[in-house]
Amino acid sequence: MNKFTMTETSDAEGGAPKLEFPCEYPIKVIGVTGQNLRHRVVEIMRIHAGEIDELLITERESSEGRFLSVTVVITATGKPQLDTIFAELKATGIVKMVL
């Protein structure tokens, strides 16, 4: 089963999620190696977050080389934008997890 989560910082007193938009927001996507994951992830991010500096994109293979994680730092403008990005990543069929 695929797991999709959205991590937000918490307010120390109330425990309620709190982000101040716009903000720099890293999104980590994990998928199977060899499925053109990086290209598809960056393409979706650019549609919803504009141009992304290549220096803000990192990749890392799992120890056995079966999985690839791609982390992209975007300028998040609000929860609706993040929800849309997460939904589109999930819909690709090649994404196993989004953090």
The total domain count for the chain is 1
Within a domain: 2: no
Within a domain: 26: yes
Within a domain: 53: yes
Within a domain: 10: no
CATH of the domain at 56: 3.30.70.260
pLDDT tens for the chain, 99 residues: list them. 445 444 444 445 556 568 899 999 999 999 999 889 999 999 999 999 999 999 999 999 999 999 999 999 999 999 999 999 999 999 999 999 999
Burial level of 64, CB count in 10 A (0-12/13-18/19+)? exposed
Are residues 28 and 56 in contact, defined by beta-carbon separation less than 8 angstroms?
Answer: no
Query: Domain containing 58: what range?
Result: 19-98
Within a domain: 32: yes
Within a domain: 29: yes
